[in-house]
Amino acid sequence: METAKAYRGDLASWKRYLEAQLGSVVRVQDLTGPVIKAALAEMNNAELAPATRRRLVTTLRGLCRYLVLESRLPVDPMAAIQAPRTPSRLPVAFTDGQISALLAAAQAEDPKARPAAPLLDVVIVLILAAGGLRASEAAGLRLLDYRPGDEPSLRVLGKGRKARTVPLDPGVAAQIDIYLAWRAEHAAGDADTTPLLIRPDGRALTRDTISYRINRLYARAGIVKPDGEAAHALRHTYAVSMVDVGVPISEVQQLLGHESIATTGIYLKASAAHLRAASAAPSAARLLTGQ
């Protein structure tokens, strides 16, 4: 469902950019190399992120390939168009101090929220930062997916509808238990299949709502939002912390729900950079450099 929604959003973006070049409603026969390249140039002028432009190109490439197979286009106009290269960068991981500040902000009522829901905000931060979930995965959690007890965990439905089990720290589980009492007062129902995370009005949280609440917490905690999706930096923090404490990369892959271990491998580099930065913190290191 999320993939289809993202695909429709990309095509809507292409429609706007192509129609800006054509000055009229775009038709299948208007999908030519020159028109597409002009739209791409406009995307560059709009300063869309390279990763966003790369995704848009991939979406249109798939559509054009389909139209050629259906004999609705004589040739593939995307054949000679290269996707923008995404610059290589390490994932951003927050420090312990930043996570503490974020939790402190979550625990305090947001003066601009009507109504405020600090118990919900705390659980959102913990599920993302101490469970490593994507925002879409957190939004998709059901009551039955939370498993309390001596070994608390979350059953997570990830990409490709693949399920995985994420163990939870007892302290995180205790916060979820406190939240559940609040949830019982605000939920329309308590069936096992109803959403775990709900708004104060009883409606389910969406990925966009989670991102909005995380962005508000960043601002209130004085944390500069990293590039990319707001909530994803907390997932990065979880992954880097797992590598920092020596969890094998294959196990980190399973915890994150990555299809390929190569995707998880970037956290090895991020962890090394994280540890190098930490090693510069002790006073002895500053004394050695004369600072």
Domain CATH for 206: 1.10.443.10
The answer to whether residue 76 sits within a structural domain is: no
Residue 25 shares a structural domain with residue 126? no
Domain, as residue range, for 110: 96-279
Tell whether 128 and 63 lie within a shared domain.
no
Q: What is the pLDDT of residue 265?
A: 78
Q: Does the structure show a pLDDT above 50 at 281? A: no
Which range, of 164-168, 234-238, 242-246, 250-254, averages the lowest pLDDT? Answer: 242-246
Both 135 and 251 in a single domain? yes
Residue 268 has pLDDT above 90, yes or no: no
Domain count, the chain: 2
8 Å CB contact between 211 and 229:
yes
Is the backbone peptide bond immediately before 115 cis, with ω within 30 degrees of 0? Answer: yes
Residue 224, in any domain of the structure: yes
**Please, are residues 221 and 105 in contact by the beta-carbon 8 Å criterion?**
yes
Q: Is 90 exceeded by the pLDDT of residue 180?
A: yes
86 occurs within a structural domain: no
CA distance 153 to 141: 12
Residue 168 within any structural domain of the chain: yes
Do residues 59 and 10 touch, judged by C-beta distance below 8 A? yes
In the numeric block, which tokens belong to residue 89? 């960068």
Q: Are residues 117 and 182 in the same domain?
A: yes
In this predicted model, what pLDDT tens digit does every residue of 141-172 receive, in sequence order? Answer: 999 999 999 999 999 998 878 899 999 999 99
Look at residue 288 and tell me if it is in a domain: no
pLDDT in tens, 15-27: 999 999 888 999 9
Tokens 């994507």 belong to which residue? Answer: 134
